[in-house]
Structure 1
Amino acid sequence: MLTKMCLIMNKFDSVRLRKIPFLKRITILLFFMSLTINAQIDRIEPPFWFAGMHNPELQIMFYGKDIAQYQVTAANSIAITDIKKTENPNYLFVTINTKNLPAASIDFIFKKNNKVGFTQKYILKQRREKSAQRKGFDASDMMYLIMPDRFANGNPKNDSSNDTQEKADRSVAGGRHGGDIQGIINNIDYISSLGATTVWSTPLCEDNDKAFSYHTYAQSDVYKIDPRYGTNEDYKRLASELHKKDMKLVMDYVTNHWGIEHWMMKDLPTRDWIHQFENFTQTNHKRSTISDTNASKIDTDICLDGWFVSSMPDLNQKNPLVLNYLKQNAIWWIEYADLDGFRVDTYNYADPEGVTAWTKSITDEYPNFNIVGEIWMHNQAQMAYWQKDSKVGAIQNFNSQLPSVMDFTLHDAIGTIFNEDDGSWDKGMVKVYDNFSNDFLYPNPDNILVFAENHDTNRINEVYKNDFKKYQMTMALIATVRGIPQLYYGSEIGMSGDKDKGDADIRQDFPGGWKGDENNAFIKEGRTPGQNQYFNFTSKLFNWRKTNEAIHFGKMTHYIPENNVYVYFRYTDKKTVMVVINNSKEDHTIKTNRFQENIKTSKMGKDVLTDNSFDLASEISLEGKSVLILELEK
């Protein structure tokens, strides 16, 4: 009651009625309190909805003490198509048909013993113009991955919150450090200067864990931005500021689990809202069991139903109420914040039929929206199984509806190849060649996320001990092959980190993101010479990529590596790019006649990194551990 009183007082003050005489103010306050207490509604989710959606069915969850004892109707003859009560009397799930309903308020009437107990307004808002036609990210984009707590502290006033348990303390490696949404907004120009067109932030919804809450994958309220990052309005503003720069925002969404501190965990709507076992059961992580025709049922069940960790309860997508809740939550965020895409965490840990239905519900509403799933597997067939319209999945009559997957097999190769100086049968650049030789498995190779690292892996500069030449080869590779390149924050200034030392080491604070930092790597003058070397190369590479349609959607032809030198072409009818990666320590000269089918009548090639020109008539020479990206000229 005290909390409600405070909220009402805040609202009362916000409407500027402070000048009303004190006793009259108290009378008004008590009146509003009586409405709130009698209403018995603590939460409504979704908190509001939108008129004119493709799917007119809307399931509204009302939560409050013994709310299920009421009968519910809607004013103005609005059709309630279903009312679900569960074993928990504190929940009511009310479904209405919004077809042809205008943007307006709906009055729900709650009766008990045929007497009106209270009414509750629910708002249908107007959608943005052409909202359904929004265009997601694609192969013309470069995605910049940020861990917001570690990127920049734009608003020190929200470093800690009264509503959340863990307080900010930069001296704790795995604690909250204070980075926030305002920090991202403040540095949009920096991100853009790298050639990035899309921002993927790890989750921003509230995570009220007592410790290690900074990663925010154990969410405690999926309709609320964590107050230590900002507000829902701040998140919407981030999308708006990015759109002003012709950039996009991708939300990191989690369908598989919530956090143990999620408010529902203290009062579950149904016992089977989450997967429960007699004793704690962790997933076996063997996602291959899903497609394995020889897998045992118990192994498959534990893979899908076991908890990721003890602090992350596993959601039961087979429960229709859960699945509908997740569908609507995702669509609400797209519509509310004006999002351009999702990256879905632990995608294939969730029930396959459930997560497929979740995905399709989104792409039915937004046909041009893109969703990339974390399919962390080490076999192309098992990854391709999960991409929409996969022929591999079709063998088992399965179609995930998932537009994009992450290329973890390429990531695996990148993690070793540039330390393998002697390319033999299965070493060095042959690994990359073999990766792309399996592209026939994917229904859409252009719509695959390619990356050298992310927030869960060793940093690439750690793997290669800050060898700048190896960094150049790595970035040139992911910038020029098929798919959508992703860059992890800080690598562009040489940041390294060893996962064996703990996750915090690969998620360090970006220098300059906090007042008092020794240097500010967000600006040229604040970067060290070494940081500028990394930054200048990265910026030039990816800004060039933005301009080249052959790299975006062109075809690819590659040639079997010889002497650890890998040559491939990206081309359209109008443009051709030739990439040569010499992964040997030795200088090499390659004869160009071998590549004539792609060089055709071109006489010269201009290196986009150095602006040097190369005669293609007979041979090309390049240094050991180096790369050429040649735009061919007639």
Structure 2
Amino acid sequence: MHSNYLFSRIGVGAAILLASSVAGGHAADAQGNAPAVDRVEPPSWWAGSTMNPVRVLLHGKNLAGAKVTAGGGVSARSVKVNGNGDYVFVDLAIDKDADPGAKSLKVTTPDGTATAAFEVTAPLPAAGRFQGFSPDDVIYQIMPDRFSDGDAANNDPAIAKGLYGRSNPHLYHGGDFQGIIQHLPYLKDLGVTAIWITPVYENVHHVNTLQADGTAPYSDYHGYGAINQYGVEQHFGDLAGMRELVDRAHAIGVKVIQDQVANHVGPYHAWAKDPPTPTWFTGTAKSHGNNTYQIWTVMDPHGAPDESAATLGGWFANVLPDLNQNDPEVARYEIQNALWWVGMTGLDGIRQDTMPYVPRAFWTQWSTAITRQYPHVNAVGEVFDGDSSLVSYFQGGRKGPDGVDTKMDSLFDYPLYFPLRRTFAQGGSFHDLAVDEAHDWLFPHADHLVTFLGNHDVKRFSSEDGATPAGLSLAQTFLMTNRGIPLVYYGDELGMKGGDDPDNRQDFPGGFPGDPRSAFTEAGRTPQEQEIWSHLRKLAHLRADLAPLRRGSQMTLTQTDKQWAYARTLGGDTVIVALNNDTNPATFTIPVGATNLSNGVTLTDRLGAVGAVTVKDGGLAVTLPARTGAVFVK
């Protein structure tokens, strides 16, 4: 996309056609008062949508007093112009039988007429799309820029020259949609059933000096500084490429989850200087509060409204413009934007960044709109905190003390993440993990939480103090056999190391031209990497094979400082998971009297760590090697 937000009409893309004329039919003087339109958001919509009419935001100049008309199965209603005369809100009603194609919008003022195209598309067939994600899935997180470069032509696009440089961790490295597409078979073989890709919004086309640390130029390669929420970052590809990625993933049974950001935009977004309404943001670029990240204030029953103001209205890093979802136009814009990405590409799920910094009532509106259009599409929210009582407050499924049910199906299980690191990397006690899961009752649906060992915001597991390959593999055993929806951060299947941001976002080895080896192949992995990779692959496929590991109830059978055993039961099928986190072998007995396993039943370890064991006197006597797990089945 270009800085004037022209959309190339590729596949479902919409071309914004710009023209002006005076009432008498002569060309308007470019320096005069004739109206002009240079942005249409959303640029397209589909016939038969549950969001009908769709509210379209036009940007231009000299739009005061504008009237909007349309044709071709589209009718314009409820036109509102902002006080500056540079934004128009117009509701477009689309006939369910409207023919796909560009529709001319005429924006007329006393000084002339501007025309712009709004595209009506055919709805994507639902078969194989809009599937949602669940405990049946294994999610793999990808930062597109750091995974694989499949199209060198977009490494240094003309519109953003100078932002590419693999030697600089803060610049673009060349990863893109085509790189992900090329390695979908690798992910399928690993046992991945869904990929989460970090934001693909169009980001600023020059160095970001507002967030630089003073030592190096920055780019917004990570995608979290949008300048156009309807644009695709040119370094990654275009909308057609995004659609191709989703379609190719679906063709091999892999779902796609898109990272979205309804809380804020980037500091270089045009709105930062020229917002559509006076209340579009909480504050202005020159006068705003800094976010204090005190999430607990949102749920404090004793707090005055001002107590949570810095959390709900403060600007992230004191620079990211905070969208005000209490402004109904902002709420409508963000809801439609989420629907547009799903409808235009066939996505299966959404990851919502910085969820608790947005008013909870907005999430009710947002989730309801998504479910109304796509009943199976669900979302996971980021609540970066280790307190279960706080995090659970944001999961949907019941009303909080404020009377709000966010209807957000899933959250990232940060309360589990912290003890996971302490236990398996630092050699801590299983007690921490057990205590955390004892708080599962706080969540409406603990089994819907996304569990993980790492992501793009924290140092890699293998760079934690005390971390070992054996500890990583045991942690993966826990993750793949425990309740929740497991997530793997790209490269963790190899045991990649990396400290805090940006060191935790290094390139995947073999994903880029000139790499000395390719870890996408067994031949390109070190023996240690191959051992970690093979273990995770075995676990992912085992989870797919054993329904109790995905959908079963969970019961702790025994738990000590270094050993833990739990049962996963679904119907008449029971799986026993045993873990030894000691640096020495351990022999212990697992009581199974509370399960459906009776004396004389023999079980085998599907991971192959130990031999068969038989229930005797209501228990299983097992001996596990150091830092090893077993999965026992009949």
One-letter amino acid of the structure 2 residue matched with residue 449 of structure 1: V
**Relative to structure 1, is the Cα distance of residues 84 and 529 closer, same or farther in structure 2, using a 3 angstrom cutoff?**
same
Once the 2 structures are TM-superposed, how far is the Cα of residue 106 of structure 1 from its aligned partner?
4.2
2:317 to 304, 309, 321: 309
Contact 2:282 2:288 in 1 (8 A): no
Quick one: distance in 1 between partners of 2:178 and 2:430?
Answer: 42
Q: Which residue of 2 aligns with 1:126?
A: 122
Q: What do the CA deviations read for 1:415-451 (whole angstroms, capped 9, x no partner)?
A: 1012565xxxxx6111111122111122222211000
1:433 alignment partner in structure 2: 434
Gaps of 5+ in 2: 10-25, 208-217
Task: Determine the structure 1 residue equivalent to 2:632.
Answer: 630
Counterpart Cα distance in 1 of 2:407 and 2:254: 25
Contact kept, 8 Å, 2:242 with 2:345, in 1: the verdict is: yes
Match of 2:362 in 1: 354
Shift of 1:78: 5.6
State the distance in 1 between where 2:470 and 2:605 align: 16
Say which SS state the counterpart of residue 157 (structure 1) adopts. helix
Partner AA of 1:265 in structure 2: A
CA contact (8 A) 1:257 1:314 kept: yes
- Of Structure 1 and Structure 2, the greater helix share is in 1
Deviation at 1:458, TM superposition (A): 1.6
Distance 2:6 2:591 in 1: 76
Pairwise mapping of residues 414-453 of structure 1 onto structure 2 (< 5 A)?
414-418=420-424, 421=427, 428-453=429-454
Cα distance per residue 1:297-341 (max 9 Å; x no partner): 333001110001244111111111111111111101101011000
Q: What pairs up with 1:467-482 in 2 under 5 angstroms?
A: 467-482=468-483
Distance 1:534 1:171 in 2: 27
Q: Look up the equivalent residue of 2:167 and give its one-letter code.
A: S
Structure 1: how far apart are the matches of 2:29 and 2:482? 58
Q: Which blocks of at least 5 consecutive residues in structure 1 are unaligned?
A: 12-32, 422-426
Counterpart residue type for residue 268 of structure 1: P
- CA separation of 1:142/1:594 partners in 2, compared to 1, >3 Å: closer, same or farther? closer
2:235 is equivalent to residue 228 of structure 1: yes
User: In 1, are the aligned partners of 2:60 and 2:86 still within 8 Å (CA)?
Assistant: yes
Determine helix, strand or coil for the equivalent of 1:375: coil
> Structure 1 residues 498 and 71, CA, compared in 2 at 3 Å: closer, same or farther?
same
What is residue 108 of structure 1 aligned with on the other side? 105
Tell me the SS of whatever aligns to 1:41: strand
Relative to structure 1, the CA distance from residue 252 to residue 630 in structure 2 (aligned partners, 3 Å threshold; closer, same or farther) is: same
Corresponding residue number in structure 2 for 1:569:
567
Q: Report the Cα offset of residue 601 of structure 1.
A: 5.4
Contact 1:470–1:625 at 8 Å: present in 2 too? yes
1:406 aligns to what? 412
Map of 1:16 onto structure 2: none
Q: Partner letter of residue 273 of structure 1? A: W
Q: Relative to structure 1, is the Cα distance of residues 599 and 585 closer, same or farther in structure 2, using a 3 angstrom cutoff?
A: farther
Are the counterparts in 2 of residues 433 and 560 from structure 1 also a CA contact under 8 Å?
no
Residue 35 of structure 1: CA displacement? 9.9
Query: In the alignment, does 2:540 pair up with 1:542?
Result: yes
Q: Deviations for 1:534-576, whole angstroms, at most 9, x for unmatched residues?
A: 1111111112212221111111111351242111111111422
Query: What residue is the counterpart of 1:458 in the other structure?
Result: 459
In 1: Cα distance, 2:508 partner to 2:550 partner: 30
For 1:221 and 1:7, the matched residues in 2 are separated by: 11
Instruction: Give per-residue Cα distances to partners, 1:489-535, cap 9 Å, x unaligned.
Output: 00111101111xxx111111111111111211011111121221111
Provide Cα deviations, 1:387-415, integer angstroms capped at 9, x if missing partner: 1123xx43331201101111101001111
Spell out the pairing of 1:123-522 with structure 2 (5 A cutoff): 123-130=119-126, 134-164=130-160, 167-208=163-204, 210=207, 211-276=218-283, 279-390=287-398, 393-418=399-424, 421=427, 428-463=429-464, 465-499=466-500, 503-522=501-520
Deviations 1:3-26 (A, max 9, x none): 99x989x99xxxxxxxxxxxxxxx
Per-residue CA deviation, residues 66-119 of structure 1 (Å, 9 max, x unaligned), is 123422233479654411211221111101333645344544333334x97254
The aligned amino acid for 1:623 is P
For the structure 1 residues 420 and 215, does the alpha-carbon distance in structure 2 shift closer, same or farther, using more than 3 Å as the test?
closer
Report what 1:58 is aligned to.
54
Closer, same or farther in 2 for the Cα pair 1:525/1:441, shift >3 Å?
same
Query: TM-score with structure 2 length normalisation?
Result: 0.89
SS of the residue aligned with 2:493? helix
The amino acid of 2:263's aligned partner reads N
Distance in 2, matches of 1:484 and 1:336, equals 26
Aligned pair count reads 597
Distance in 2 separating the partners of 1:213 and 1:249: 22
1:3-22 correspondence to structure 2 within 5 Å: none
In structure 2, what residue type is equivalent to 1:123?
Answer: E
**Secondary structure in structure 2 of the residue aligned to 1:402:** coil
Residue in 2 that maps onto 1:25: none
SS of residue in 2 equivalent to 1:450 = strand
Structure 1 pair 43–157 and aligned structure 2 pair: CA distance change class (3 A): same
Q: Tell whether the 8 Å contact from 1:66 to 1:91 is kept in structure 2 after alignment.
A: no
Q: How far apart are 1:258 and its partner, in Å?
A: 0.5
Counterpart mapping for 1:552-591 below 5 A: 552-591=550-589
Which TM-score applies when normalising by structure 1?
0.89
Whether the 8 Å CA contact 1:388–1:400 is kept in 2: the answer is yes
Contact in 2 for aligned 1:592/1:616 (Cα 8 Å)? no
Aligned-residue identity in percent: 28
AA aligned opposite 2:420: I
Other-structure match for 2:19: none
The structure-2 alpha-carbon separation of the partners of 1:77 and 1:451, relative to structure 1 and needing over 3 Å to count, comes to closer
Give the Å deviation of 1:144: 0.3
Q: Give 1:294 deviation, angstroms.
A: 2.2
Mapped partners of 1:36, 1:366: distance in 2: 47
Aligned-partner SS, 1:416: helix
Distance 2:498 2:304 in 1: 39
State the secondary structure of the residue aligned to 2:58.
Answer: strand
What residue number does 2:21 align with? none
Q: Conserved in 2, the CA contact under 8 Å of 1:274 and 1:315?
A: yes
- Residue in structure 2 matched with residue 71 of structure 1 by the alignment: 67
TM-fit CA distance, 1:583: 1.6
CA contact (8 A) 1:132 1:365 kept: no
* Conserved? CA contact 1:415–1:452, under 8 Å: yes
- Aligned partner (choices 599, 621, 624) of residue 623 of structure 2: 621
1:447 maps to amino acid: H
Q: Is the 8 A contact 1:133 1:368 kept in 2?
A: no
Is the counterpart of residue 40 in structure 1 residue 36 in structure 2? yes
User: Distance between the aligned counterparts of 1:132 and 1:590, measured in 2?
Assistant: 47
Residue type of the alignment partner of 1:322: V
Describe the shift of the 1:232–1:602 C-alpha distance in structure 2 as closer, same or farther (beyond 3 A).
Answer: farther
Change (3 A) 1:70 1:446: same
**In structure 2, do the counterparts of structure 1 residues 271 and 546 end up closer, same or farther at CA, with 3 Å as the change threshold?**
same
Contact preservation (8 Å) 1:155, 1:180: yes
Separation in 2, partners of 1:167, 1:315: 27
Change (3 A) 1:488 1:7: closer
1:131 positional shift? 6.9
Give the secondary structure class of the aligned counterpart of 1:268: coil
CA-to-aligned-CA distance 1:206-261 (integer Å, 9 cap, x gap) = 11151231111111111111101111111111001100101111100001000011
Deviations 1:587-615 (A, max 9, x none): 22222445553533572222222275321
Measure the CA separation in 1 of the matches of 2:495 and 2:426.
21
Q: Which amino acid aligns with 2:54?
A: L
- How far off is 1:42 after superposition? 0.7
Aligned AA (2:107): F
RMSD across aligned C-alpha pairs, in angstroms?
2.7
